[in-house]
A and B are shown apart, each in its own frame.
Chain A
Amino acid sequence: MSQQTAAAAGSRRTRHFLLVFLGAALLIAGVVSFYASSHPDGLEFVAESTGFLDTAQDSPAAGGPLADYGVAGVQNARLSGGLAGIIGVLVTLLLAGGLAWALRRRTGTNTEA
């Protein structure tokens, strides 16, 4: 196998791996998230039990169409939360992936070295 085809096979394998990893994220955010514990998380629980939860203010973003992990206008809770999760995963992927891609060290044609 020439070096070039070895490199191509390597990048195909990497792409496959990344797609499986991303698929897991989509499944978790889109489906599994519905079954998450509804108890307050550590910070919220501590804030409530020690008495400073009432100092929390609504975020200016609280009126947004995806606020609190739901899509405004979608009545079905499972669908609304799942869709919000999938949108969040994809937006995060694009922003973080784009940033990382812009910062990557360019190694010219020698990428698999």
Chain B
Amino acid sequence: MLGSEIPGGKWGDTMHVPDGFLDVPTSLATGVIAAVGVGLALRGARNELNERTAPLAGVVAAFVFATQMINFPVGAGTSGHLLGGALAAALVGPWTGVLVITVVLFVQALLFADGGLTALGTNITLMGLVGVGVAWLVIVAVRRLLPKRLSSVPIAAASGALVSVPAAATAFTVLFAVGGVADIPVQTVFAAMVGWHSLIGIGEAIITGLVVSAVVATRPDLVFAARPILEATELEIRQSGVAA
């Protein structure tokens, strides 16, 4: 699966929404949505970050940047890469997760020409706001359904990942319907986007589940999505003098 077509490597193929796909009014609108969303995240993240978790947010962003360079094949000449919204939300919290993905997208757009500049608001809206937001809602819902155990956290994170990718693809289709420059039937774009991104979502779920379970296994105290479970456990066995 990796061998044949790699002479020279491939970095150029990683693609977010480029300039030109969406018209100017739509790009401006998503720019405003992104700015408001990131503004809210800047406030919300204050309650998620402390001296121990702030450095983790930096490392998670770096890790998401790195994994987005890895396109994995999903069949028929298509590949996918991690969006990272569920991973960031599970590890550092939803508001901080939005900021993490936003920083990654900024670096990619400005330094690596990956994703357009007028499309930056679109990409932040899709992968930051929709990706992280949907992932977090699913994580919270699944965590509520599962037993209050640490092993439930990676499953919840993987579920969030699975749903977040087709959700972002759906959101793209909505933007395309509103302001797509090309004259193509929306149903065609919708079917193709959601079909392929459901497959990519499976890859996203596997990677997210593996990484979150590795972190939960070594440092559950640093995992944002594990906090309610740890707190519940601490209440049950209070006499053991739990370290923070």
- Residue ranges of A at the interface with B (Cβ–Cβ < 8 Å): 6, 10-11, 13-14, 17-18, 21-22, 24-26, 28-29, 32-47, 49-52, 54-62, 64, 66-70, 77-78, 81, 84-85, 87-101, 103-107, 111-113
Contact = CB atoms under 8 A, between A and B. Distances in A.
Interface residues of B, number: 91
20 contacts: A10-B244, A21-B56, A22-B62, A36-B11, A36-B81, A38-B10, A41-B14, A41-B78, A43-B15, A43-B169, A57-B116, A67-B113, A77-B9, A81-B9, A88-B66, A95-B61, A95-B107, A97-B57, A101-B55, A103-B45
B50 A107 contact: yes
Contacts of B110: 61, 64
B121 interface: no
User: 4 shortest A-B CB distances, which residue pairs?
Assistant: A97-B58, A69-B11, A96-B61, A52-B182
B221 to A, nearest CB: 9
Interface in B40-55: 42, 45-47, 49-55
B197 interface: yes
Contacts, number: 290
A71 B189 CA distance: 35
B72 A96 contact: no
B62 A90 contact: yes
A42 B46 contact: no
A31 B227 CA distance: 34
A18 B227 CA distance: 19
B172 interface: yes
Nearest to B110: A61
A30 to B, nearest CB: 8
A52 B180 contact: yes
Interface of B: 1-2, 5-6, 8-21, 42, 45-47, 49-67, 69-74, 77-81, 92, 96, 99-100, 103-104, 106-117, 169, 172, 176, 180-182, 184, 188-189, 192-193, 196-197, 199-200, 215, 218-219, 222, 243-244
Contacts of B15: 40-41, 43-44
Contacts of B199: 42
Given A41-B71, A41-B81, 17 more contacts: A17-B222, A25-B67, A36-B70, A37-B73, A37-B79, A40-B15, A61-B113, A68-B113, A70-B11, A89-B66, A91-B111, A96-B58, A100-B53, A103-B42, A105-B46, A105-B49, A106-B51
